[in-house]
Amino acid sequence: MDDIRSLYQEVILDHSKNPRNFRKLEGKIQSAEGFNPLCGDQITIYLQLEEDRIKEITFQGSGCAISKASASLMTIQLEQKTRSEVESLFQKFHNMVTSPSGSNSDFQDLGKLAALSGVSEFPMRVKCATLAWHTLKAALQSKTETVSTE
Ligand code: ZN
């Protein structure tokens, strides 16, 4: 268990220091902003959908290591997923970070997001870990807009 723990910590540190997909999307996109006042985490999720499937997903923001790593890992895991697949992964992720360790059997679908399973021992951190997901849901429901940095 200790080996797994240090491996998980490495994944979280790596993704919080070098977040993947950390950029703005342009063109016809959907986006939403999220804020976790408990910790001060801020995030913006950018989405490009192709019919019902996520073609590209990126984010920007600032916050604690958990919120950044969670967003980074989420964008990797959700690329090319459909809305219903996103919904089911969110359920599994939410269960993982809110239920006491050992009661979850769905880790494999979550890929590297399993690195965040330790969050269930720190209830104050659950909102940090789920902020990206709640923001993603808002982005999925938002209207398509054309964003430009010009
Ligand atoms: Zn946080």
- Domain boundaries in the chain? 2-148
CA of 33 to the centre of ligand 1 (A): 15
**Of 25-34, 78-87, 141-150, which range is least confident?**
141-150
- Could you tell me which residues are beta bridge partners of residue 31? 46
Percent of the chain exceeding pLDDT 70 equals: 91
CA of 76 to the centre of ligand 1 (A): 20
Q: What is the pLDDT of residues 26-74, one digit of tens each?
A: 999 999 999 999 999 999 999 999 999 999 999 999 999 999 999 999 9
Number of neighbours of residue 66 by Cβ within 10 angstroms: 25
For residues 34 and 131, is the Cβ–Cβ distance under 8 A? yes
Number of neighbours of residue 134 by Cβ within 10 angstroms: 17
CA of 50 to the centre of ligand 1 (A): 31
Say how far residue 107 (Cα) sits from the centre of its chain: 15
Give me the pLDDT at residue 19, please: 98
Give me the pLDDT at residue 144, please: 75
* Rounded mean pLDDT, 92-107: 77
Q: Is 1 helix (H, G, I), strand (E, B) or coil?
A: coil
Taking CA atoms, 135 is separated from 15, 22, 55, 105, in Å, by 19, 15, 17, 26
Taking CA atoms, 88 is separated from 37, 85, 118, in Å, by 27, 5, 20
CA of 150 to the centre of ligand 1 (A): 31
CA of 27 to the centre of ligand 1 (A): 30
CA of 14 to the centre of ligand 1 (A): 16
Q: What is the pLDDT of residues 71-83, one digit of tens each?
A: 999 999 999 999 9
Q: Which of 104, 92, 103 is CA-nearest to residue 130?
A: 92
CATH 3.40.50.2300 given to domain 2-148: no
